[in-house]
Amino acid sequence: MLLTSNVSSMTCKFMASSPAGHDLAPRPRRGYSVLIACRTRPVRGKGCSHLLSAANIQLPDEPRARLRGQRASPATGGVVMASEHEQSPFIEPLPARPSLEMQQKRAKELLRAVWAGDPDALARVRALHPKPPAVEALKLADAQLVVARGYGFESWAAMRRKINSLTETPVEQFRTALHAEDVDRVRELLEQHAEVRAAVNAPISHFDSRPVARATKNLPLLDLLLAYGADLNLKSAWWAGGFGLLEGCTPEEAAPLIERGAVVDIFAATNLGMFDRLRELLDRDPSLAHARGGDGKTPLHYARTVEIAQHLIDRGADLDARCVDHESTAAQYLVHEAPDVVRLLIARGAWFDIFIAIGLRDVDLVERCLRDDTEALDHRTWQGTYTVAHNGKRPATREEIGDRRGDVYRWVFDHNMSAIEAAARLGYDEIVELLLGHASPTQRLLAACGKADRAAAEAVTASHPNVVASLRRDQMRLIADKAHANDTAAVALMLDLGFDSHVTGPDDAEPIRWAAFQGNADLVRLLLQHDPPIGVPDARYGGTPLGWCLYGSVCGWRCDTGDFVSTVRLLLDAGERPDPTDLPTGRDDVDEVLREYLAASRDRV
């Protein structure tokens, strides 16, 4: 289980992630539509059985009274706020079985109706919005506010909280409050509900972690949980091996946890560099050198000092033991973080490969790898040999793993990296030169394309005119991998050299889908010149390039930085056709583009 900045505690519907939460792959809805609301990870057992009957549903206050006295002056071009009498026909209690998803749908339908000039929708906005904007300026947030006020709530957030209180179990509300680090709400739930107090040590959070895992950096929240019986020393229930609180802490972060009773076990001692504690534990129980912790890692996977690594080895630690989740060795994990430890491991006989040799900047090791592994320059992280065999539910057997080498390098070096690219990324020029000296024309071409070195790539194609045409599919997919990496220069170079722009890469997606997903207008513009699959659903998720773009604009990892407005315009100009029900998407700027397009289409008819 590895977390990166791309991984959030929130995930959009139709956006699945791997059991370890690693992948942020898009999940566009069939056709064009995408879900615009972000939601927490689905919870097992959550469903209609948790909904309350109509008799149990009470609004917090009489709906009309909550809106009393909230007249406001409209913005220029807006609609005058209605009187309390005019509001009355639009105010009603929540349904007997309230659903936040249904209210989200109602808000979108209301907004579309207002944009279409529907009199009833306009009247509802006029009656319920405290400051009705001009029709053309109405946004999704305005529609949500109107829906909420129609049930007597002052805001969408207030309505959401009420619906959650009616449809979520107390334990689910507890989890939500934990993730928000809302100390007051956590206290309230613990005080009011026996089932919440019973769940204070349950694996209800991300990756089957316990409530205290959400409070390691929030001491008031941690102290509250401890007061209700939370156990600092229960590991998570993660399938590949439970994590202790101290396994991922710095010494500074660990200190207050230890003061409060967190026990320094073999993994914590190794992680925190506590040699005396490590020796004490091994003296007491030598088998701990082979123990398994989070992700099924051994203590050696956590060793960041030569002293600790040496002691573990002397006590019998397996140099080449693989973790369960990433099926990788300690040397693979530590090659960047603790190179001196990895040198020790290799000196004591640990397995190594071309990536470890490069990470250590060890020319002799690199040369040995080139001699011993004829495919050394063809390997790529997160592909082929460098993937895992398990299914995310149980550890793979040795037979199932076979000659695979695990996937932790995708985090250590980056995704889809060759040995030459890894050396170049690290700035190890002497190793790059050595590798290129052993490379075939194809390998030199791919290396040049990987770092967008046009001169080097064109030199290869000049001396080997058929090299691009001779590429295998797994080599040609570099263009899709670089689109996934948002590398415009590399993709542009490969397009000019004649790479197939329809080849698929991560998530079986072509370059244009990845470019659209990330709002890379410059790259989309280039790819549109190469017979893109406009209007064609992808094989895995059924989303068109526009669907990928709309999804990425709200739930993608570049939703805050991509140029989605320009990207949508380019795709529409190229022939993508939006469905009116795509609106509102959740992005006001994108909605404006889609509305302009749909209005122009109606005018043409």
Query: Residue 505: is its pLDDT beyond 50?
Result: yes
Q: What would the two tokens of residue 395 be?
A: 């550890």
Q: Give the pLDDT of residue 86.
A: 61
Q: Give the pLDDT of residue 50.
A: 27
Q: Give the pLDDT of residue 87.
A: 64
Longest Cα separation, the chain: 86
Q: Give the pLDDT of residue 605.
A: 58
pLDDT 10s digits, 110-130:
999 999 999 999 999 999 999
* pLDDT classification of 308: cutoffs 50, 70, 90: very high
Higher pLDDT pick, 136 / 522: 522
Residue 535: CB atoms within 10 A of its CB come to: 15
* pLDDT classification of 96: cutoffs 50, 70, 90: confident
Whether the Cβ atoms of residue 84 and residue 67 lie closer than 8 Å to each other: yes
Query: Residue 74: is its pLDDT beyond 50?
Result: no
Q: What are the φ/ψ torsions at residue 146 (nearest 5 degrees)?
A: -65, -45
| Cβ-proximal residues to 295 (8 Å cutoff; 6+ apart), any chain | 1, 238, 240, 241, 243, 323, 324, 325, 326
* pLDDT classification of 283: cutoffs 50, 70, 90: very high
Average pLDDT over residues 426-452: 98
* Amino acid making up residue 51: L
Q: What are the φ/ψ torsions at residue 80 (nearest 5 degrees)?
A: -65, 135
Q: Give the pLDDT of residue 85.
A: 53
Q: Give the pLDDT of residue 4.
A: 36
Q: Give the pLDDT of residue 31.
A: 38
pLDDT 10s digits, 319-354:
999 999 999 999 999 999 999 999 999 999 999 999
pLDDT 10s digits, 541-592:
999 999 999 999 999 999 999 999 999 999 999 999 999 988 999 999 999 9
Average pLDDT across the chain, whole number: 88
Q: Give the pLDDT of residue 371.
A: 98
Q: Give the pLDDT of residue 57.
A: 28
Q: Give the pLDDT of residue 602.
A: 80
Query: Residue 513: is its pLDDT beyond 80?
Result: yes
Q: What would the two tokens of residue 255 be?
A: 């200190």
* Amino acid making up residue 372: D
Q: Give the pLDDT of residue 89.
A: 86
* Amino acid making up residue 55: A
**Model's pTM, two decimal places?**
0.82
Query: Residue 6: is its pLDDT beyond 80?
Result: no
pLDDT 10s digits, 516-535:
999 999 999 999 999 999 99
pLDDT 10s digits, 30-56:
333 333 333 332 222 233 222 222 222
Choose the CATH number for 1-42+505-605 among 1.25.40.20, 3.40.30.10, 3.40.720.10, 3.40.190.10.
1.25.40.20
Do you know the residue count of the chain? Answer: 605
Q: What would the two tokens of residue 87 be?
A: 């509001």
CA distance 536 to 525: 17
Pick the range with the lowest mean pLDDT from 17-21, 83-87, 249-253, 330-334: 17-21
Q: Give the pLDDT of residue 604.
A: 72
- The number of CA neighbours under 13 Å toward the Cβ of 49 is 3
Residue 7: CB atoms within 10 A of its CB come to: 18
Cα Rg of the chain (Å, integer) = 28
| Cβ-proximal residues to 110 (8 Å cutoff; 6+ apart), any chain | 121, 124, 125, 143, 146, 147
* pLDDT classification of 238: cutoffs 50, 70, 90: very high
* pLDDT classification of 2: cutoffs 50, 70, 90: low
Per-residue DSSP letter, 75: P
* pLDDT classification of 409: cutoffs 50, 70, 90: very high
Domain extents for the chain? Answer: 1-42+505-605, 54-165
Q: What are the φ/ψ torsions at residue 408 (nearest 5 degrees)?
A: -65, -20
Q: Give the pLDDT of residue 119.
A: 95
CA distance 605 to 600: 9
